[in-house]
Amino acid sequence: MDSIIIRGNGTLNGAIPISGAKNAALPLMIASLLSSEPLVLENVPRLADVEALKDILSNHGVDYRVGGKRPGDAVTTGRRISFRAETIVDTTAPYDLVRKMRASFWVIGPLLARCGEAKVSLPGGCAIGTRPIDLFIESLKALGAEIDIDAGYVSAKAPNGLKGAHYTFPKVSVGATHVMLMAASLAQGDTIIENAAREPEVGDLATCLNAMGAKITGIGTSTLKIQGVTSLHGATHPVLPDRIETGTFAACVAMTGGDVMLQNARPELLQNALDVLKQTGTNVEILNEGIRVSRNGGDIHPVDFTTEPFPGFPTDLQAQYMALLTRAKGVSHVKETIFENRFMHVQELARLGADIAIDGQMATVTGVERLSGAPVMATDLRASMSLVIAGLVADGETEVNRVYHLDRGFELLEEKLSAVGADIKRVSA
């Protein structure tokens, strides 16, 4: 099994290209099930989750074709992939495929809408909380679906098609909003979704669906209105840049010092996180080509923040920013409100010398003068990056094990960090 070896060696300088967003690419790929015509996605990242979802979609009859390199393409240039679900050959998503990634459960929406039935295994993914499927089920029931759960599978039927409805989510859910948005696009009549997730990835999906012929308004707000259509056609759509990767590399620069341009990054996708970063004493400059992050010589200031649905501070950056605060000059407080079990990285950061105390949803981080390299273990996708960030400044050598978590969400991580001066490499056991 691969591991990543890091030696703390000073500042980062140069440029890092930001990849297409994993959290946008996955629902966009699933949206290809809604049409018999090709959906061409641009700027698709090279990630384990993307490859796994390609296999899942193939099981349903989706053909895909990866475009070749074009003149001027770098190794980090996102791929162009065409997906075509001309015929749905199987409406069952088996456990062996779905267990690998929670987002694969989302195929239930388009399969149900297009075929009138779907049987999908209960999902897997990172062990960061229960993340129940109640919101998915209730929102699909509101559209007229008949749903049963038995032997680890969710079976949904709508033999006469889905019907438009007015539904209010009792709690904001990005995944359930994705699923209801896709299902409602082919429902009969109008649908209004209240308390919808406002995350940029939801807006990206809605924009793509509109390009495919859907009629969705209210994009970017908590109220989405969908006028159902009988069918969707093909389209070409670029995946938006990854705001989590942007915030992660920004934290790397803030931790180590230096000056790095995050190319193609869009500040409006993570403004709250950038505001928190500025409070740590890090310089953030918005330019035409992206976001320039720098910290030259000054201390890292302590800061308090709370994770919240967009436009608040993203839970997917909580672990990375906590790692940054382990070297702050003072005490910081981090409150996690999205997932109940997302402090698993704390015990691993403690192995590197971090001083963090947990009390329920609150983590109190007391900054230390130095961190020391040690073997550590990744526990989930985002937590893995907190260990990398700490390792960039730790004395000696840090070995991050179980890096398959990283491969799920960070494209060419070692190459990108090495290019700006990090001493980081992957080794195989």
- Cα 279 from chain centroid (whole Å): 24
Q: Which tokens belong to 144? A: 């007229």
**Residue pair 6/323 in contact by the 8 Å Cβ criterion:** no
Q: Which tokens belong to 221? A: 């707000």
What is the percent of the chain where pLDDT is above 90?
84
Q: What is the mean pLDDT of residues 183-207?
A: 98
Alpha carbons within 13 angstroms on the beta-carbon side of residue 411 total: 27
- Annotated catalytic residue, options 115, 126, 208, 252: 126
**Residue pair 76/410 in contact by the 8 Å Cβ criterion:** no
**Residue pair 261/290 in contact by the 8 Å Cβ criterion:** yes
Treating both helix axes as pointing N-terminal to C-terminal, what angle do 22-31 and 108-115 enclose, rounded to 10 degrees? 20
| N residues, the chain | 429
Q: What is the mean pLDDT of residues 270-283?
A: 98
**252 catalytic residue (yes or no):** no
**Residue pair 49/296 in contact by the 8 Å Cβ criterion:** no
Whether the pLDDT of residue 127 is over 50: the answer is: no
Whether the pLDDT of residue 125 is over 50: the answer is: no
Tell me the per-residue pLDDT of 243-269, one tens digit each, with 9 for 90 and over.
999 999 999 999 999 999 999 999 999
Whether the pLDDT of residue 241 is over 70: the answer is: yes
Residue with the larger pLDDT of the pair 149 and 382: 149
22 appears as a binding residue in the annotation: yes
Q: Which tokens belong to 224? A: 């989405």
- Tell me how crowded residue 35 is: count the other CB atoms within 10 A of its CB: 24
For domain 22-238, which CATH number applies: 3.65.10.10, 3.40.440.10, 3.40.50.10800, 3.40.50.12780? 3.65.10.10
- Residue 256, CA distances (Å) to 6, 67, 426 in order: 13, 37, 20
Class of domain 2-19+241-428 as given by CATH = alpha beta
- For position 96, what pLDDT does the model report? 86
**Residue pair 362/333 in contact by the 8 Å Cβ criterion:** yes
- Cα 278 from chain centroid (whole Å): 23
174 appears as a binding residue in the annotation: yes
Q: What is the mean pLDDT of residues 340-369?
A: 93
Given pLDDT bands bounded at 50, 70 and 90, which one contains residue 124? Answer: low
Tell me the per-residue pLDDT of 94-113, one tens digit each, with 9 for 90 and over.
988 888 788 899 999 999 99
Could you report how far apart the first and last alpha carbons of the chain are, in Å?
5
- If DSSP states are collapsed to H, E and C, what string results for 377-404? ECCCHHHHHHHHHHHCCCECEEEEECCH
Whether the pLDDT of residue 129 is over 50: the answer is: no
Mean pLDDT over the full length of the chain: 94
List, in sequence order, every residue forming a beta bridge with 356; answer none if it has no partner. 365
Q: What is the mean pLDDT of residues 336-345?
A: 83
Angstrom distance (rounded) from CA 67 to CA 385:
30
Tell me the per-residue pLDDT of 13-49, one tens digit each, with 9 for 90 and over.
999 999 999 999 999 999 999 999 999 999 999 999 9
223: Cβ contacts below 8 Å, ≥ 6 apart: 192, 193, 194, 196
Q: Outline which parts of the chain fall under CATH 3.65.10.10.
A: 2-19+241-428, 22-238
Tell me the per-residue pLDDT of 154-184, one tens digit each, with 9 for 90 and over.
999 999 999 999 999 999 999 999 999 999 9
List, in sequence order, every residue forming a beta bridge with 399; answer none if it has no partner. 5, 375
Q: In 166-218, at which residue ranges do the beta strands (DSSP E only) sit? A: 166-168, 190-194, 215-217
393 appears as a binding residue in the annotation: no
Whether the pLDDT of residue 242 is over 90: the answer is: yes
Q: Which of 72-86, 148-162, 196-210, 398-412 has the highest mean pLDDT?
A: 196-210
What is the percent of the chain where pLDDT is above 70?
97
**Angle at CA of residue 298, ends 311 and 10, nearest 5°:** 95
131 appears as a binding residue in the annotation: yes
338 appears as a binding residue in the annotation: yes
137 appears as a binding residue in the annotation: no
Whether the pLDDT of residue 295 is over 50: the answer is: yes
286 appears as a binding residue in the annotation: no
Instruction: Name all contacts of 126-131 with Cβ < 8 Å and 24+ positions apart.
Output: 126/102, 126/380, 126/381, 126/405, 127/341, 127/344, 127/379, 127/380, 128/339, 128/341, 128/342, 128/344, 128/380, 129/339, 129/340, 129/341, 129/342, 130/340, 131/102, 131/339
Whether the pLDDT of residue 57 is over 70: the answer is: yes
172 appears as a binding residue in the annotation: yes
102 appears as a binding residue in the annotation: yes
389 appears as a binding residue in the annotation: no
